[in-house]
A and B are shown apart, each in its own frame.
Chain A
Amino acid sequence: MSLLNILNIAGSAMTAQSKKINVIASNLANAESIVCKDGKFYPYIAKKVVFKLDSLKNSLIGGVKVFSIINDPNPMKLIYDPNNPLSNKKGYVLQTNVNPVTETVNHISASRSYQANVEVVKTAKSMIMKTLSIGE
């Protein structure tokens, strides 16, 4: 029954969007974090979520799934700060590429998408309930 499929499709989109919001929250929280790798210190690199169509069998349509979480390819900022203990020989410090403005805008967009899918679920549910009461 295709009306029940709608619940799965919208539900998968809600899961994917909330995962995206999770990643954005992690980016904002870790904007000042330092990662230690192989005895060296690196600034935190922003993460990005990539969505993919999760198609139902034998059809073009389907829900969404999180394909992968990648490192943001935007370049890191280099700031002159010779007093910082992490600065290099010339006095420059590598800073994170988390952009608070971009993250906030993405967050709003993801939460709007989430809301749209909630509306879809509501509508599908009321349609199913009305169909069930057809013989009354």
Chain B
Amino acid sequence: MFNKINKMLDFNQNLLNFYAKREEILSSNIANADTPNYKAIDISFKDEIKKIIKKNNSGITLKKTSSHHLNPKKNNFFGFEIKPIVNKEVSSNGNTVDMNRERIEFIKNTLKYEENLVFIKNEIKNIMNVLKG
């Protein structure tokens, strides 16, 4: 039973992690808007979501020959692939931060993070309702 609750929340938890990391990267871009030779970076939602789904489906389990064997630990770490943003405009000091894009992406990312939080809250509410009867 707890396994199922875990599975329910696991995907959302991974997404939340992704949004938090992306928020950090975007804030770094905004902070370094005036730094010479700083290259704007980002992580791709499309690639990372593929990784998350793949990880959730690949149920690699060990064969248990005794009821006392423990379940294998799930490796919860996945590194994000950080890529530079390719845009044609490079300012004279070699900085590639486009403040307009960064601001919009920052707000978008915040809203998505909060949306995900609401999903998790609702799931917990559902579980609590079932438990209370």
List residues of A whose CB falls within 8 A of some B CB.
1-3, 5-6, 9-10, 12-13, 17, 20, 50-53, 59-64, 109-110, 113, 116-117, 120, 123-124, 127, 130-131, 134-135
A2-B20, A6-B23, A6-B24 given as contacts; is B30 within 8 A of A51 (CB)? Answer: no
A9 CA to B82 CA in the complex, in Å? Answer: 17
A6-B24, A123-B106, A127-B110 given as contacts; is B117 within 8 A of A12 (CB)? Answer: no
Write out the residue numbers on chain B whose beta carbons fall within 8 Å of the beta carbon of A9.
Answer: 24, 27-28, 31
Please tell me if the beta carbons of B34 and A134 are within 8 angstroms of each other in the complex: no
List residues of B whose CB falls within 8 A of some A CB.
16, 20-21, 23-25, 27-28, 30-36, 38, 41, 82, 99, 103, 106-107, 110, 113-114, 117, 120-121, 124
Please tell me if the beta carbons of A64 and B120 are within 8 angstroms of each other in the complex: no
A127-B113, A134-B120 given as contacts; is B36 within 8 A of A63 (CB)? Answer: no
**24 pairs, CB–CB < 8 Å, chain A vs chain B:** A6-B23, A6-B24, A9-B24, A9-B31, A10-B27, A13-B31, A13-B32, A51-B32, A51-B34, A51-B36, A53-B35, A59-B82, A60-B41, A60-B82, A61-B24, A63-B28, A63-B31, A109-B34, A120-B27, A123-B107, A123-B110, A127-B114, A131-B16, A134-B121
Please tell me if the beta carbons of A116 and B99 are within 8 angstroms of each other in the complex: yes
Q: 20 other contacts beyond A53-B38, A113-B34, with CB at 8 A cut-off?
A: A1-B20, A2-B21, A2-B24, A5-B24, A12-B31, A13-B31, A13-B32, A17-B34, A51-B34, A60-B41, A61-B28, A64-B35, A110-B34, A113-B33, A116-B99, A117-B30, A117-B31, A130-B114, A134-B117, A134-B120
Write out the residue numbers on chain B whose beta carbons fall within 8 Å of the beta carbon of A13.
Answer: 30-32
Nearest CB of B to A77, in Å: 24
